[in-house]
Chain A
Amino acid sequence: MTANVVFVGWSHHGAPLDLRERLVFTPERSREALEGLFRERILSEGAIVSTCNRAEVYGLSDREDGAAAVACFLSDFQAIDAAVLRDTAFSGRGEPAVRHLFRVASGLDSMVLGEAQILGQIREAHRRASEARTARAVTNRLFQSALECGKRVRSETALGQRPTSVAGVALSLTGRIFESLAGRRVLLVGAGETIELTASLLVEQGVAAADVLFTNRSADKAEALAARSGGCAIPWEERFRALAEVDVALSATAATEPVMRAADVAKALRRVRRRGPLLVLDLAVPRDFDTGVDDLPDVYRYDLDALQGIAARNTAERRSEVPRAEAIVDESVTAFLAWLASLSHVDVVRGLREKLESARREELGRYAGKLQRLSPEDQKVVERLTETLVAKILHEPTIGLKEGDASDRLARAAAVRALFRLEGGE
C-alpha cells in the first residue's frame, strides 16, 4: 500500500531559478492544479508545497506512472516544456516519498540547513489542500506527521537554533546585548546599499524610523537616504557626538582608512553622559572603526570577519546535528509507514474479524452456564448461529473496503480502525 504515496518536485537542488519561478503556485493556481490532477484521475488525494526554493506535489495514486503523469500534467498546466520538467524533476514512490517530505519539514533539504520557514509553508500547503478538499485520510496524516517530525527536530536538536547568515548573526548579537530593539537609537555610517537595507531591516525589527540617524561624507546622500526611510541625517563632523547618543552603530563606507578612530570615540563617549552598551557593527572592508575601540568597556565591536566567523561556526554546528535529525526522521517515517500498512485491506478485515470473534466468544462465555443446560445439538446450533451472524456483519464491510480508488479505500480503512478501535491504527 505504501507504493501509492507518490511525490514529484523541483527544488534548488536540480531546478534553476528561472524554472522555479515559473513553477510557483499561488493559492488559486494550487487549487486549480489539484482539481486538475483529480479530474484527470492522476491523484486521488494530495497537496502542493510551493516555496521560492521548491515546488513539490505529494499525493496518492493508483497509477504505476503516477509521478510521471503528475509531471506531464504540470507541463501542460504551467506551459513548460515537458522535457525540461522531466530532466530537472526528482520523484519518489512509497517510503522515499514519505521520507522526502519529512526531511523537507525538518529543514534537512533546505538551502539554508535547518531554516524554520519551511514548517509554516508545509502547514500552508496542507491548509490549501484541505480547503480544496484534496487532503483526505492519508494526506492529512502524512502532513501532520511531517509537521510533528519537523517540530521534534527543532526542539530536540540544535539544527535550527543559531543564525547562519551575517544579517542573522548581527540580529542575534543585538538580542544578546539589548532586551529589544524597540526604543533603541541607531547610527548608520555610509550611504550604500547595505546601509539602506539595514535601515529597513532595523525598522522591521522594532526601531522607530525617526531613531535611525544617517551620516555620510557626502551630506546629500545621507539626506536622501534619511528622506527615503523617514530617518534623520546628521553632518559628517557630528558623527562622534551622535555615536555617544546611540545604542547601535553600523558602518559600511568605502573609505580606505578608519573613519572612527579609537581616541575620538573614547573622547566622545566620555564627554556625553550615556547609558548602556554600544554595539558596533563594522561591515566595511577595510574597517571603518579602529580596533582600539575594543578596549572601551561598554563598546562591543564586530567586523565582517567576526560576523562571518560566527556564521560559519553556526553552520558547522548545524551540520553536526544532522545525524540526530535524520534519526528523528527515521523514527517518524517508520511510524507513518506502520500506520499506513495497518490500513491494508487484509489487515483491517483480519482485525475486524478478530474483534467480532472475540466479542462472540466473550458473550458465549458469559452465558456458558445457561448454554450447558441445552442439549449438545442445540449448543451447536447456537455456535453456528453466532458464527453466521459475525460472518454476515463482516460481509458488507469486507466488500466496501475493496471498493473505490486508493484514497477511498484507505479512508474507509482508517474509519473502520478508528470506529472499532482496532489495534495498530495509531
Chain B
Amino acid sequence: MGGFVGAAGSTTAAVFGALALVAYALSAAFYVAHLRTPRPLVGKAATTFVILGAACNLEALYARSVALHSVPYRDLLGSMALLGFFLAVLNVVLELRHHDRSLGPFLMPVVLVLLVLALELPVSRAAAPRPELRGSVFALHVTLNMLGYAAYAVSCALAVLYLAVGRSLKKRGRALDGAASRLPSLGYLERASRTSLGVGVVASAIGFGLGIYWASHVWYEKNPAWALDPKVWAAFLILGFYAVTLVRAHRGASPVTTARLVIAGFALVVFSYTAVNLFLTRLHSFT
C-alpha cells in the first residue's frame, strides 16, 4: 500500500488509492456475477462501484501530483494508476453509450491488477522532478498517450470477445450454447472495438504530435538525437499500425482480420509500455 504514499508521503493519495482498489474489486465481482446471471440491481451496483473507483483513483492521482510537485505518472506506479483510471472511464463510457455491461467482467479485473501492482511498486525517490518535465504540453502529451493505450486495451478486449463469439457461432449446432452466448452480438463488438480504436488513434496522434513539439523545443540542445529514441519509434509504429487497421476497417475489411490485427497491435503496445520503457529507452524511462 505504500506505493501510493509517494515521495512526499501523501496519506491522502494512499487512502484514496486503497478506496479505489476496494471499489474496483467490488465492481469486478459485481460485473462477473452479472455476466453469470444478469440482474438489473447487480449491474447497477457494478457500474456504481466502477464510477466510485474511478473518482477515488483520480483523487489519489491528484493528491500524488500535489505531493510530488509534478505529474503523478512520471514513474511506473503513477503511470499504471493512470492507465487503470482511463480503462475504468472507457468502460463506463462504452457501457453508457452502448447500454451493455459485457466488457466490465473482462476489463475490471485488469484494472484491479494494475492498481494492485501499482500499490506494490516501490515509490519513486527522486527528490524533485526534472524542470523540463513540467508544463502543460508535456502533461497533455503523456496523458493523451496513456488514454491511447487504454483505448487500445479496450479495443483489444473487444476484439478478443469478437473472436470468442465468432468461434462459438461457428460451432453450428452448439452456436447458442456456452458462456459466449451471453456476450453481445458480433455487430456490437465490432462497432465498439472500432469506436475504441478510433479514440485510441486520435488520442495517440495528438499525444504524439505534442510530444514532437515538446521535444523539438526542450531537447533540441540537450538531446538533439531524441528522434532516434526507441520509444519514439515504438509510438510511431503503433500509431501507424493502428491507423492503417482503422482505415481498413472503415473501408470494409473482414472483421475477423481486423480483430486479429487489433490484438497483434496490442502486443506492440505492451512491448512499448514494458520492455521499451524499462530497458530500451533512455529519454522516456520512468524517473
Contacts and interface: CB of A to CB of B under 8 A. Distances in A.
Contacts of A300: 166, 169-170, 175
A369 interface: no
Interface stretch (B101-109, B185-193, B211-219): B185-193
A194 to B, nearest CB: 20
A177 B169 contact: yes
Contacts of B170: 294, 300
A176 B252 CA distance: 20
A341 interface: no
A20 to B, nearest CB: 32
Interface in B72-130: none
Which of B166, B175, B177, B191 lies at the interface centre, i.e. has the most chain A CB atoms within 10 A of its CB?
A: B175
Nearest to B176: A310
B175 A298 contact: no
Interface in A131-178: 162, 169, 172-173, 175-178
Contact of A273 (B173, B181, B252, B257): B252
B279 to A, nearest CB: 37
A178 B254 contact: no
A305 B181 contact: no
Contact of A274 (B169, B252, B257): B252
Given A277-B255, A297-B254, A305 B173 contact: yes
A175 B181 CA distance: 11
Contact of B251 (A176, A273, A310): A273
Contact of A298 (B165, B173, B255): B255
Contacts of B66: none
A276 interface: yes
B186 A176 contact: yes
A313 B173 CA distance: 9
Contact of B255 (A180, A276, A303): A276
Contacts of A274: 252
Contact of A297 (B172, B174, B176, B256): B256
B186 A306 contact: no
B27 to A, nearest CB: 24
A10 interface: no
A171 B183 CA distance: 17
B98 to A, nearest CB: 9
Nearest to B39: A155
A309 interface: yes
A214 B71 CA distance: 63
Interface in A232-278: 273-277
Contact of B172 (A175, A176, A301, A313): A301
Interface in A270-314: 273-277, 294, 297-298, 300-303, 305-306, 309-310, 313-314
A274 B174 CA distance: 27
B126 to A, nearest CB: 49
A162 B178 CA distance: 13
B173 A297 contact: no
Given A274-B252, A294-B170, A176 B191 contact: no
Contact of A176 (B173, B176, B190, B257): B176
Contacts of A297: 166, 254, 256-257
A179 interface: yes
Interface string B244-265: 0000000111111100000000
B255 A176 contact: no
Contacts of B254: 297-298
B176 to A, nearest CB: 6
Interface in B16-38: none
A179 B176 contact: no
A178 B187 contact: yes
Contact of B169 (A176, A273, A303): A176
Contacts of B185: 175-179
Contacts of A169: 176
Given A162-B176, A305-B173, A306-B173, A298 B187 contact: no
A147 B165 CA distance: 35
Nearest to A308: B173
Given A294-B170, A306-B172, A177 B252 contact: no
A387 to B, nearest CB: 52
B176 A298 contact: no
Contacts of B181: 176
A76 to B, nearest CB: 50
Contacts of B174: 309-310, 313
A63 to B, nearest CB: 46
Contacts of B166: 277, 297, 300
B255 to A, nearest CB: 6
Contacts of A309: 173-174
Given A179-B188, A273-B252, A275-B252, A173 B169 contact: yes
B172 A277 contact: no
A274 B248 CA distance: 11
Interface string B159-173: 000000110011011
Interface centre among A175, A180, A277, A294 (most CB of B within 10 A): A277
Interface string B25-56: 00000000000000000000000000000000
Interface of A: 162, 169, 172-173, 175-180, 273-277, 294, 297-298, 300-303, 305-306, 309-310, 313-314
A-B CB proximity, top 6 nearest: A275-B252, A309-B173, A297-B256, A179-B187, A306-B172, A306-B173
Interface of B: 165-166, 169-170, 172-177, 181, 185-188, 190-191, 251-257
Given A176-B186, A302-B175, A310-B173, 6 more contacts: A173-B169, A173-B175, A176-B169, A178-B186, A298-B254, A309-B174
28 contacts: A162-B176, A169-B176, A176-B165, A176-B175, A176-B181, A176-B186, A177-B169, A177-B185, A177-B187, A178-B186, A179-B187, A179-B188, A274-B252, A275-B252, A275-B253, A276-B186, A276-B187, A276-B255, A277-B166, A277-B255, A294-B170, A294-B172, A297-B254, A298-B256, A300-B166, A301-B172, A305-B173, A310-B173
